Structure 1
């Protein structure tokens, strides 16, 4: 018999990890030039841009697989805080043309990852 709470955790893990993974694959294919320029504009070294591969490739895979989920989720939280601070700080509560927040997607990733830190992976996961 399926446990609804564990099934819900699995759905959150697959959704968060799966959707964020697309962003990581995009950066893997197209490079980190945009992030490097943003870092440079804030006086930070461009090599830090490669950290995005941890936050948008490795961490989502950890979350999807349920392997060290809380650590993976924490890495996603850090990734999103950095992304919001570097690129979106001026849009924290800005509304889009359709009435929703401009940063809905960023907040979804950030808060879903934060929820997983507290919830854990559930029982449908790789054995640690």
Structure 2
């Protein structure tokens, strides 16, 4: 395989992994609703309707990543979604370690920075439109 082919394969693996893992969170929100998120937003003085943005960040955006259609946009939406999650849900854990010594937010950090890397690098050739 050439360097270009391996780069494109690596981007496909990143897109599929991030897309599937975030989509599973979105499916859970489709089943249970966003009332808990509405309460968190209200607690921070933000309008409750913003909670419905989670469907964009955890359903639409991962689908865009998985199929490689406007994948940079999908990745950027996940970045925004993860920033909201970090600040609304996990802000008290920023400087904590987990039970095994790793950062308490390592999964959220991995989601955030993987999405950022894909937003910067693009989806690779194994996508519908290379955006």
The two structures have a TM-score, normalised by structure 2, of 0.93
Aligned length: 128
1:79 to 78, 81, 87: 81
- Coordinate RMSD, CA, aligned: 1.2
Residue 115 of structure 1 aligns to a residue whose secondary structure is helix
TM-score (normalizing by structure 1): 0.95
Once the two structures are TM-superposed, the CA of residue 5 in structure 1 deviates from its matched residue by: 0.6
SS at match of 1:6: helix
CA distance in 1, matches of 2:6, 2:120: 17
Structure 2 residues not aligned, in runs of 5+: none
CA contact (8 A) 2:70 2:129 kept: no
Query: Which of 104, 110, 113 is the equivalent residue of 2:112?
Result: 110
Q: 5+ unaligned residues in a row in structure 1: which ranges?
A: none
1:30-45 alignment to 2 at 5 Å? 30-45=32-47
Distance 2:8 2:95 in 1: 33
